[in-house]
Amino acid sequence: MADLKYEILEKFGVLSTSKSGWNLELNFVQWGEAKPKFDLRSWSADHSKMGKGLTLTHDDLVNLNKLTEQILAFEQGGQGQVNSGTNPPVETSQSPEVDDDNEFGVLRRL
Q: What is the pLDDT along the chain (110 residues), one digit of tens a residue?
A: 578 899 999 999 999 999 999 999 999 999 999 999 999 999 999 999 999 999 999 999 999 999 999 999 988 886 655 555 554 544 433 444 444 554 444 444 43
The domain limits of the chain are 6-56, 59-109
pTM (2 d.p.): 0.67
Q: Determine contact, residues 42/22, Cβ cutoff 8 Å.
A: yes
Which residues touch 8 (CB under 8 Å, ≥6 apart)?
27, 28, 29, 47
> What CATH number should be reported for the domain whose range is 6-56?
2.30.31.70
**Which of 84, 77, 86, 82 minimizes the C-alpha distance to 96?**
82
**Residue 32 Ramachandran class (φ > 0 left, ψ -120 to 50 alpha, else beta):** left
Q: Say how far apart CA 86 and CA 89 lie, in whole Å.
A: 9
For 12-29, write each residue's pLDDT tens digit.
999 999 999 999 999 999
Report the 10 Å Cβ neighbour count for 75.
13
Percentage, residues of the chain above pLDDT 90: 63
